[in-house]
Structure 1
Amino acid sequence: MTSHHTDAHRNLHSEHGALRGEHPGRAPNPVVKVQDLAWLEFRKPDLDRAEIFAHAFGFTTALRTADQLQLRGTDAGAPCVIIRRGPRSAFAGAAFLAADATDVLRLAEATGRTVERLPESLGGVAVDLTDPSGASVQVVADVHQLPALPTQSPRTYNFGHDRVRENATQRPPREPARVQRLGHVVLQSTRYLENLNWYLKNLGLIVSDFLYYPDQRERGPVMSFIRCDRGDTPSDHHTVAMTLGPSNRYVHSAYQVCDLDTLAAGGEYLLDRGYRRSWGIGRHIQGSQIFDYWRDPDGFLVEHFSDGDLFDCSLEPGWAPMSASGLAQWGPPATKDFLGVSPDRASLRELRAMITSLREDNEFDFQRLRGLLKVASS
């Protein structure tokens, strides 16, 4: 009997480039080129509960008042996350760091907005924008720089016959994986292509990788991993990832930690305290990050990551089909929770959004729905 083995990862690595006429992945003359994500903002009703999880996840409190919580990593810079007290949990938007205040002014003039001063706790100036999906986007400059904090150090490894650790044991402590910095945010939109072009034009972001639904490449991409254009200076493979879907929503955010041991031991610390792992540990394909996904007490998906790709401006976008099996090079299969198909309130909301979206004028139509269902079952 002949055994036929199918490689689930065949053609999923996206070093393959664009075909003639496909999206170039960058705007020819963007208004500005942002340098990084500055912070993310959330609304939550219980700041005490949010802070307890944040410390277990590896954040440090930078500011705490009755109505606001600012969380930081160990790197110097602005807070990673700002949580304001609100009646219900919600993602409130993202702030991007401009090169300087001149860029903030240029963006304000191009979009018909005004430049405002940020609160004293943050410092600097900002222009408030709204992307085509309705998400709040701030571009900021001259914000206060918090000093660096002590961080965990990478462990010394014996790789194969390269033995650099002798007469010494390896004992990573089971403690929080200290967050170093904010890495990226993933957003879903019913108007994916319009949203993508808005970010490329106004913020100068460039695409690292495109994904398309199986057998629908001719209709264009449905997901993009987008990085900052810092010229010859490499930046994260993606600072923002955007995907087409039946609703406009936050998907997850990711925070860098020191190394695999730190990530794994930090995960055990979270499990010991009753927190829920969504998916992990594994290594992604697009971006190559070692990942570990968790649900916070309010249901938001957050990721520890380490060892991600860094690209300069010279690399053109890769193209690959989207599939559940193509989300990781190794690790456990993507869970129902991560894929958003668990029988819970969030998936019910998404199901209702599908029905609504299919009745409206947007990019999520019946052919796209069939592609999304094929991805979830692949």
Structure 2
Amino acid sequence: MSETHVDGTAVKTAHQDLHSEQGALRGEHPGRSRNPVIRVTDLAWLEFEKPDLERAEVFARDFGFQVAARTESELWLRGTFAGSPCMVIRRGRTSRFIGPAFRAAERADLDRLARATGSAVRDADVPGGGKVVDLLDPSGFPVRVVHCGEQLPALPEQQPLLLNFGTDHRRTNATQRPPREPSRIQRLGHVVLETRVFARALDWYLDTLGMIVSDFLFLDGQRDRGPTMAFIRCDLGSVPADHHTLAMHLGPGTGYVHSAYQVTDLDSIAAGGEYLKERGYKRSWGIGRHIQGSQLFDYWRDPDHFMLEHFADGDLFSSDVEPGWAPMSTSGLAQWGPPVTRDFLGASPSPQRVRDVIEALRGDNEVDPARLLGLLKAANS
């Protein structure tokens, strides 16, 4: 069964438990824009500032990054896949997340985006060169859209283990001994952000960058007020894309939640996790398998308390898959794995969190007492 969508394309409307028990109700957010300015193809990299680049590099190597370039003031990190670096850390006074950079499909997309937003196209300060348009999303995050010049070559991969399944014996007269070494990062997968202006920020990413929603989450008893979280993918047409390249949720704060980096397989996640644990790093939550996106996951904190995820085996959707709708809850975060931690949820009380709540309730945004109570209920459900 199908129907014509707002942009004139035929889309599937029968979910048949493809990725969510529920689809949209009549009149709910369609999860895509009628006529976006451009359609980005992926995340390019994330930008951070930290005062101690030496310490940042030690963690980066332990987590599984390779160094693409290093100067006195910048550290560019990459995975094994060919392409652009996936993170830049610039020396700064404090540790903070700056914003994401998305990849444009063509150089001409930057001109179209610049005209539509009143911005300029300028040279990108990335190894290999390129062009960039700098924007600001409704949450206040600097967002870059880039078209890179020279691409970094691929590096040697961490090979997946050969597994035996039932009567399918692919490995005989050989043992399994995955080495205790860092998980070798392949690429940047996604970033998750918290915002007080969820609806406005969501529409901006759909209208400006042409992204589309894979799954919406809503608060119990408040579905009529709209979603409070979205898992958003790039629109590559018939080519399947990651279930989410960007995820956003409503909250009292505005900031980075975590970023995720693909590795080879479950053994890479587990052996790399043992390597991190032996070096004294703190696991935030894992190992398990998500529901939205289906990824195998393992979350860690770096020395500056930023959360980073190793993941493998994520869902891939083409553009004809409609958004799913599900209630927001901690029990809905994983199919299996250990209980979700307070650290992962950001539920531990802190002076900054209290200030965030007070600011949000006083400000002109989408956080009100009912929304806040609903978020607290979801965190404990």
For the criterion TM > 0.5, the same-fold answer is yes
1:268 aligns with 2:278: no
- Match for residue 257 of structure 1? 263
Following the alignment from structure 2 to structure 1, what is the Cα–Cα distance between the partners of residues 96 and 203?
25
In structure 2, which of residues 59, 68, 78 is the aligned counterpart of residue 72 of structure 1?
78
- CA 1:371 to 1:120, structure 2 compared with 1: closer, same or farther past 3 Å? closer
Alpha-carbon deviations, 1:105-156, whole Å to 9, x = none?
1000000001001126341100000000000000011332000000101111
| Gap regions ≥5 residues in structure 2 | 1-16
Kindly indicate whether residue 25 of structure 2 is the aligned counterpart of residue 19 of structure 1. yes
1:17-96 correspondence runs (5 A): 17-96=23-102
Which amino acid letter does the alignment assign opposite residue 136 of structure 2? T
Is this contact kept in 1: 2:302–2:308, CA < 8 A? yes
* Whole-angstrom distance in 1 between the partners of 2:354 and 2:243: 31
- State whether structure 2 residue 139 is matched by structure 1 residue 133: yes
> How much does 1:242 deviate?
0.7
Distance (Å, rounded) in 1 between the aligned partners of 2:318 and 2:306: 31
**Which of 356, 359, 368 matches 1:356?**
359
Q: How far off its partner does 1:352 sit?
A: 1.4
| Pairing 1:136-147 to 2, within 5 Å after superposition | 136-147=142-153
3-state SS, counterpart of residue 325 of structure 1: coil
What is the TM-score normalised by the length of structure 2?
Answer: 0.94
CA distance in 2, matches of 1:303, 1:68: 22
Say which of 285, 290, 302 aligns to 2:308.
302
Q: Secondary structure at the match of 2:62?
A: helix
Aligned-partner SS, 2:375: helix
Structure-2 change in CA distance of 1:85 and 1:170 (3 Å):
same
Tell me if the contact between 2:128 and 2:148 (Cα under 8 Å) persists in the aligned partners.
no
List structure 1 segments (4+ residues) > 3 angstroms apart after TM superposition: none
Distance 2:148 2:187 in 1: 18
| Residues 227-261 of structure 1, C-alpha deviations (whole Å, 9 max, x = no match) | 00000000000000010001110100000000000
DSSP 3-state at the match of 1:326: coil
Which residue of 358, 368, 371 corresponds with 1:368? 371
Distance (whole Å) between structure 2 residues aligned to residue 42 and residue 219 of structure 1: 34
Q: Secondary structure at the match of 2:204?
A: helix
Correspondence 1:115-134 to 2 at 5 A: 115-119=121-125, 121-134=127-140
Classify the secondary structure of the residue corresponding to 2:332: helix
Give the AA of the match of 1:134: G
> What do residues 48-106 of structure 1 show as CA deviations (whole Å, max 9, x unaligned)?
00000000000001111110000000000111100000000000111000011100110
1:210 partner SS: strand
Q: How far apart, in 2, do the equivalents of 1:265 and 1:366 lie?
A: 44
| 1:156 is the counterpart of 2:158 | no
Question: Does 1:173 find its partner at 2:179?
Answer: yes
Counterpart-to-counterpart distance in 1, 2:106 and 2:75? 26
Contact 2:287 2:297 in 1 (8 A): yes
Question: In 1, distance between residues paired with 2:230 and 2:190?
Answer: 13
SS in 2 for 1:176: coil
Check the 8 A contact 1:80/1:182 in 2, yes or no: yes
Letter in 1 for 2:328: M
TM-score by length of 1: 0.95
Name the counterpart of 1:277: 283
* Contact 1:76-1:148 at 8 Å conserved across structures: yes
2:289–2:296 contact (8 Å) kept in structure 1: yes
Contact 2:22 2:326 in 1 (8 A): yes
CA offsets per residue over residues 245-290 of structure 1, 9 Å max, x none?
A: 0111010000000000011000000000000000000000000000
Of the candidates 326, 330, 335, which is equivalent to residue 329 of structure 1?
A: 335
Contact 1:117–1:126 (8 Å) recurs in 2:
yes
Aligned to 1:223: 229
Kindly state the Cα deviation for residue 161 of structure 1 after the two structures are TM-superposed.
2.2
CA contact (8 A) 1:100 1:142 kept: no
CA RMSD of aligned residues (A): 1.1
Structure 2 residue 242 is the aligned partner of structure 1 residue 239: no
Q: 2:104 aligns with which of 89, 98, 108?
A: 98
Can you give the 5+ residue segments of structure 1 that lack an aligned partner in the other structure? 1-10
Q: Answer with 219-228 or 150-159: which moved more.
A: 150-159
